[in-house]
């Protein structure tokens, strides 16, 4: 599982939260960091078993996440999950803060709020429902184990999205080494159902727009990986060209060209479909 | 191209319904059964990402690199503003000195 982010320029920050002390990192491009475990891990002195185990135990509790006292939360959580959209960032911050204190119900709510979001992002990049689910589970396990170290400098959703993208890119890299690209292209995803979140009431009402969006997504999913991934990162994930170039390890010019071509393909295909229908 | 941009904007809000059953339940089930193997997911790459996402300076520098144009415009505007303010202040001081 190789990570793709090789950006440089970590600097310093301090965090006075409970249980977090100040450490110094002398690695290249980094200076000061706050999490003792991270530093131990980096310096090779970490005791992951003990550290993570205690973390998991704290989070899991005796009855784990599926304990009976969560039933009420589940009911309300399910309602929110139907809409798949957090009310606002403040809600997220509260849920994250509670999760950091070991509130299992709050973490479960986060899972219910964002599981489909993570799955969707993973699916568009990986184009395989099983891989997308694997990535979703992996992402939430990572979040579960490390949420105490999340400082909240960016929104939880952004953090989760970037984590998902990184995990997907890693997975694609591993896949590209093992699977013939031609075979994987032929083996396209069988079918999927697109639903729109509550913010898109107008779209839900407008059948033609909804169908057009589904058509666009269909074309994107069927694009070649070299076109699909940069386009998704740029147009659906709001990454900058520079970030995409770093992430997929391609020159920025290639990224721009591929995105331009991908948009042209989508446009042409939509035009063709329109002509065919009309 | 405009309509494509609109569709892509709307597509950001779209979610895919997982084909087989309830994905939330499966994730929660997995979380309730975390084992030693799962702990290996917190590898160096992930920790590096976590560290970066927890660094205010890093996030600012990334924002700066990603929106260079915005920051240049802001800097130039600020420089012009302070330049004008400086000139006004200097003229004001000169006039006062002349009066005295």
The 10s digit of each residue's pLDDT in A19-32 is 333 333 333 333 34
Q: Does the pTM exceed 0.80?
A: no
Q: What is the pLDDT of residue A41?
A: 46
- Tens digits of residue pLDDT in A165-214: 999 999 988 887 776 555 455 555 456 777 776 555 555 556 667 788 88
Optimal mutation site among A235, A247, A260, interface B, most CBs of chain B within 10 A: A235
CA separation (Å) from A178 to A20, A54, A91, A172, A175?
Answer: 41, 36, 42, 10, 5
Cβ–Cβ pairs < 8 A, chains A and B: 220
| Average pLDDT over chain A, rounded to an integer | 72
- Rounded CA Rg of chain A: 21
**Which of A4, A64, A149 minimises the CB distance to B50?**
A149
pLDDT in the model for residue A205: 54
B31/chain A closest Cα distance in angstroms: 6
Q: Which residue has the higher pLDDT, A252 or A66?
A: A252
User: What pLDDT sits at residue B16?
Assistant: 84
At A143, list the tokens: 């979040």
- Whole-angstrom Cα Rg for chain B: 28
Q: What is the pLDDT of residue A174?
A: 86
Assess whether pLDDT exceeds 80 at residue A150. Answer: yes
Those residues with Cβ within 8 angstroms of residue A242's Cβ, 6 or more apart along the chain or in another chain: A252, B65, B66
User: Do B57 and A11 lie within an 8 Å CB cutoff?
Assistant: yes
pLDDT at residue A244 in the model: 94
pLDDT band at A57 (very low <50, low <70, confident <90, very high): very low
CB contact under 8 A, B19 and A129: yes
Give pLDDT tens digits for A216-261: 998 999 999 999 999 999 999 889 999 999 999 999 999 999 999 9
Residue A140: its chain B contacts at CB < 8 A?
27, 30-31
Average pLDDT over residues B72-96: 94
Model confidence at A125: pLDDT above 80: yes
Instruction: Give the pLDDT confidence score for residue A231 in this predicted structure.
Output: 95
Q: Which two tokens stand for residue B13?
A: 């809000």
Q: Provide the pLDDT for residue B68.
A: 87
Compute the average pLDDT of residues A128-140.
91
Q: How far apart are CA A67 and CA A61, in angstroms?
A: 9
Whether A53 has a pLDDT exceeding 70, the answer reads no
Smallest Cβ distance to B26: which of A35, A129, A137? A137
Mean pLDDT of A50-79: 43
Query: Which residues are registered as beta bridge partners of A33?
Result: A23
Q: For residues B67-78, give the mean pLDDT.
A: 92
Q: How far apart are CA A32 and CA A23, in angstroms?
A: 6
Interface of B with A in 23-62 (CB under 8 A): 23-24, 26-34, 36, 38-39, 41-59, 61-62
pLDDT tens for each residue of A85-105: 445 667 888 999 999 998 889
Q: What is the mean pLDDT of residues A38-54?
A: 44
Per the CB < 8 Å rule, is A11 touching B55?
yes
Spell out the long-range contacts of B58-62 with Cβ–Cβ below 8 A and sequence spacing 24 or more: B58/A9, B58/A10, B58/A11, B59/A153, B59/A154, B61/A9, B61/A11, B62/A7, B62/A9, B62/A243
Interface membership of B65 toward A (CB under 8 Å): yes
């Amino acid at each position: 599982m190789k990570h793709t982010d090789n950006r440089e320029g970590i600097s310093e920050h301090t965090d006075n939260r409970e249980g977090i002390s100040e450490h110094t990192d002398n690695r290249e491009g980094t200076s000061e960091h706050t999490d003792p475990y991270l530093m131990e891990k980096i310096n090779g002195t970490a005791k992951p078993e003990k550290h993570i185990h205690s973390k998991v135990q704290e989070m899991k509790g005796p009855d784990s996440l599926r304990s009976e006292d969560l039933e009420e939360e589940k009911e309300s959580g399910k309602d929110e999950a139907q809409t798949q959209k957090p009310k606002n960032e403040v809600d997220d911050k509260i849920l994250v803060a509670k999760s950091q204190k070991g509130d299992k119900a709050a973490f479960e709510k986060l899972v219910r709020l964002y599981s489909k979001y993570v799955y969707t992002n993973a699916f568009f990049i990986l184009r395989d429902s099983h891989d997308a689910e694997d990535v979703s589970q992996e992402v939430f396990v990572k979040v579960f184990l490390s949420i105490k170290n999340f400082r909240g400098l960016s929104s939880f959703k952004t953090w989760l999205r970037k984590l998902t993208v990184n995990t997907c890119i890693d997975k694609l890299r591993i896949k590209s080494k093992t699977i013939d690209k031609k075979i994987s292209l032929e083996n396209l995803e069988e079918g999927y159902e697109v639903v729109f979140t509550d913010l898109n009431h107008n779209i839900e009402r407008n059948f033609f727009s909804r169908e057009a969006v589904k058509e666009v997504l269909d074309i994107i999913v069927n694009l070649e990986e070299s076109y699909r991934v940069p386009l998704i990162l740029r147009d659906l994930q709001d990454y900058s060209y520079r970030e995409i170039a770093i992430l997929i390890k391609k020159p920025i010019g290639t990224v721009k060209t591929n995105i331009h071509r991908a948009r042209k393909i989508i446009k042409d295909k939509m035009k063709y479909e329109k002509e065919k229908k009309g | 191209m405009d309509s494509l941009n609109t569709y892509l904007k709307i597509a950001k809000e779209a979610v895919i319904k997982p084909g087989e059953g309830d994905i939330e339940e499966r994730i929660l089930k997995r979380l309730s059964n975390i084992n030693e193997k799962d702990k290996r997911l917190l590898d160096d790459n992930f920790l590096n990402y976590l560290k970066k996402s927890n660094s205010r300076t890093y996030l600012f520098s990334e924002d700066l690199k990603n929106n260079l144009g915005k920051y240049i415009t802001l800097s130039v505007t600020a420089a012009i503003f302070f330049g004008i303010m400086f000139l006004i202040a200097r003229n004001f001081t000169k006039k006062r000195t002349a009066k005295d």
